Amino acid sequence: MKLLHKDIEKDNAGQVTLVPEEAEDMWHTYNLLQVGDSLRASTIRKVQTESPTGSVGSSRVRTTLTLCVETIDFDTQACQLRVKGTNIEENQYVKMGAYHTIELELNRKFTLAKKNWDSVVLDRIDQACDPTQRADVAAVVMQEGLANLVLVTPAMTLLRAKVEVTIPRKRKGSCTQHDKGLEKFYEAVMQAILRHINFDVVKCILVASPGYVKDQFTTYLFNEAVRQDNKILQENRPKFMLVHSSSGHKYSLKEVLSDPTVTNRLSDTKAAGEVKALEDFYKMLQHEPDRAFYGCFSQFQCLICFVRHQDIPTRSRYVRLVDNVRDNGGTDVSPFDLFWTVSPELTQLSGVAAILRFPIADLSDAEDNSSSDED
Q: Summarize the confidence of residues 177-181 as an average pLDDT.
A: 90
Please give the pLDDT value at position 346.
Answer: 54
pTM, two decimals, is 0.53
Query: What is the spatial distance between Cα 109 and Cα 41, in angstroms, rounded to a whole number?
Result: 7
Bridge partner list, 240: 205
pLDDT at 365 over 60: no
Would you identify the CATH topology of the domain 138-268?
Nucleotidyltransferase; domain 5 (3.30.420)
- Read off the pLDDT of residues 209-218 as tens digits, 9 standing for 90 and up: 999 999 999 9
CATH for the stretch 2-129: 2.30.30.870
Beta strands in the chain (DSSP E): 2-8, 14-19, 38-50, 56-75, 80-87, 99-103, 110-114, 137-143, 146-152, 157-164, 204-209, 240-244, 292-294, 300-306, 332-336, 352-356
Give residues with Cβ within 8 angstroms of 76, minimum separation 6.
27, 156, 158, 339
Instruction: Kindly indicate the confidence band of residue 351, based on its pLDDT and cuts at 50, 70 and 90.
Output: low
Q: Summarize the confidence of residues 3-12 as an average pLDDT.
A: 92
Q: What angle do CA 333, 132, 102 make, to 5 degrees?
A: 85
Highest mean pLDDT pick, 133-137, 250-254, 309-313, 331-335: 250-254
- Read off the pLDDT of residues 17-41 as tens digits, 9 standing for 90 and up: 999 988 778 888 988 999 999 999 9
Domain ranges of the chain: 2-129, 138-268, 283-355
Q: Using only C-alpha atoms, what is the Rg of the chain?
A: 25
CATH for the stretch 283-355: 3.30.1330.30
Identity of the amino acid at 348: Q
Give residues with Cβ within 8 angstroms of 41, minimum separation 6.
64, 65, 102, 104, 108, 109, 110, 111
Q: Summarize the confidence of residues 161-186 as an average pLDDT.
A: 88
pLDDT at 338 over 70: no
Of 46-50, 183-187, 262-266, give the lowest mean pLDDT range: 46-50
Instruction: Kindly indicate the confidence band of residue 203, based on its pLDDT and cuts at 50, 70 and 90.
Output: confident
* Cβ atoms < 10 Å from Cβ of 223: 11
Beta strands in 144-218 (DSSP E): 146-152, 157-164, 204-209
Establish whether domains 138-268 and 283-355 are of one fold. no
